[in-house]
């Protein structure tokens, strides 16, 4: 019988998405693993693959449709011998969009330890769909050890799901309702009535803006924030950076101050490991690696791609990776595994001239560092007044995870590494 293609759940938190673009039309023949559509989630644009061979019988959702619930039928695939007469029955038999969705793309999970990476020569001879290759790369899976079930043994996404451990999802009852009360129709009418004599335009929220609003409301309502502030001297770092950039210019590498800050925070998390933690309801998750999220402003919101194992990477490697993640974030091309997770975040508004600010913690992380602009200010050294470049750091801390003295120790470690940049290369 015809196969219903459903709106997939592309991340653990996704409830609806936008069908950005169809890459096929009714009547097109597709094979398992072919990319047929692009779906916009709250954070990224993802590709959807056909899971079986057949002919596209009907596109049930038009390009650009917003708010498509997961498990909604978006298209119908006809198998050999089937006709258009079977389409209505296929759509009627589809599960309700409100039913619990089975994710087309599983959430990020740790790399499978039993699998080793294949050589480039071996990988080149493996038949796999583009999406399967990308998932395998993200998860550290060895395609040479996986048997494909697609045409001529081609590896498709469903083959990878069998070798990745399942990640338990919270039930709806466990997820707090973070919708602000002002979103009710009654409240909306009251707010609009205040401006009845003024001209205004109503701007509908997209999925990203709704998610940001819900998560920040949750963060400020449920996380006991406190704030620690310190000033750091930047002159040694600026001089060291200029020297390194002069030497690296032939390789096309240009390091930013933010690259040094990422490395400094990664090492500070190793110096004070009790701060390298996340809140998990009735326990803490304490991490061994320094996975540092960095806030990136994009059109309509922001996203926090993660530099994983930042403590082990050179500053030039961090710089190259950060530029790539930021560029793909602005194009909404990041996969969920590239912006989910991390135990610590950095938000830097210094390049916009902001001297200091308080950042909101990104749950379930334990802290976030707000970085201000470097300014020339008078300082006292050995009873003499001199001029130095001073930068303000504000650490927002979840008091459930990190106490005051521990947070102060962590911020002191960050300050030490920024003011002693040569040691960042050790």
Residues known to be catalytic = 399
Residue among 86, 59, 89 at smallest CA distance from 75: 59
Q: Which residue has the tokens 């091309």?
A: 333
Half-sphere exposure of 142 (CA within 13 A, CB side): 12
Distance CA 160, CA 391 (A): 47
Residue among 273, 311, 264 at smallest CA distance from 291: 311
Half-sphere exposure of 292 (CA within 13 A, CB side): 26
Task: Render the burial of 141-170: b for 16+ CB within 10 Å, e for the rest.
Answer: bbbeebebebeeebbbbbbbeebbeeeeee
Q: At what angle do helices 404-419 and 257-271 cross, to 10 degrees?
A: 130
* SS3 state at 416: helix
Tokens of 247: 């030497």
DSSP of 308-357? TTGGGS-HHHHHHHHHHHHHHHHTT---HHHHS--SEEEEE-GGGT----
SS3 of 349-389: the string is CHHHCCCCCCCCCCCCECEEEEEEEEEEEEEEECCEEEEEE
Contacts of 153 by beta carbon, 8 Å cutoff, 6+ apart = 127, 147
Residue 367 · residue 401 · CB < 8 Å: yes
Strands 344-348 and 367-381: parallel
Sheet holding 65-69, edge to edge: 45-49, 35-40, 16-22, 65-69
């Amino acid at each position: 019988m015809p196969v219903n293609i459903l709106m997939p759940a592309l991340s653990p938190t996704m409830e609806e998405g936008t069908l950005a673009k169809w890459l096929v039309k009714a009547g097109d023949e597709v094979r398992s693993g072919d990319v047929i559509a692009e779906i916009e989630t709250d954070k990224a644009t993802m590709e959807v693959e056909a899971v079986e061979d057949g002919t596209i019988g009907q596109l049930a959702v038009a390009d650009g449709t917003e708010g498509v619930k997961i498990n909604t039928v978006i298209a119908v695939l006809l198998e050999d011998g089937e006709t258009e007469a079977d389409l209505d029955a296929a759509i009627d038999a589809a599960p309700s969009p409100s039913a619990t969705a089975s994710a087309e793309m599983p959430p990020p999970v740790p790399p499978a330890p039993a699998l080793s990476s294949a050589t480039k020569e071996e990988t080149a001879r493996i038949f796999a769909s583009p999406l399967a290759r990308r998932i395998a790369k993200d998860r550290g899976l060895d395609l040479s050890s996986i048997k494909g079930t697609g045409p001529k043994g081609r590896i498709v996404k469903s083959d990878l799901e069998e070798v990745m451990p399942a990640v338990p999802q919270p039930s709806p009852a466990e997820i707090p309702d973070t919708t602000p009360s002002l979103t009710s129709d009654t409240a909306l009418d009251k707010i609009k009535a205040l401006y009845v004599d003024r001209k205004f335009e109503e701007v509908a929220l997209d999925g990203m803006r709704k998610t940001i609003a819900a998560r920040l409301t949750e963060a400020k309502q449920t996380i006991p924030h406190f704030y620690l502030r310190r000033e750091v001297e930047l002159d040694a770092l600026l001089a060291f950076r200029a020297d390194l950039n002069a030497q690296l210019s032939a390789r096309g590498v240009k390091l930013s101050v933010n690259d040094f800050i990422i490395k400094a925070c990664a090492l500070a998390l190793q110096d004070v490991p009790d701060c390298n933690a996340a809140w998990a309801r009735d326990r803490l998750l304490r991490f061994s690696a320094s996975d540092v999220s960095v806030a990136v402003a994009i059109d309509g919101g922001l996203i926090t791609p993660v530099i994983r194992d930042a403590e082990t990477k050179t500053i030039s490697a961090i710089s190259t990776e950060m530029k790539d993640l930021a560029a793909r974030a602005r194009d909404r091309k990041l996969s969920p595994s590239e912006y989910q997770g991390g135990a610590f975040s950095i938000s830097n508004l210094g390049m916009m001239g902001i001297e200091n600010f308080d950042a909101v913690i990104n749950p379930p992380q334990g802290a976030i560092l707000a970085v201000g602009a470097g300014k020339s200010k008078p300082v006292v050294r050995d009873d003499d007044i001199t001029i130095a470049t001073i930068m303000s750091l504000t650490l927002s801390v979840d008091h459930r995870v990190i106490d005051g003295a521990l947070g102060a120790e962590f911020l002191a470690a960050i300050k030490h590494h920024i003011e002693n940049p040569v040691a960042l290369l050790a």
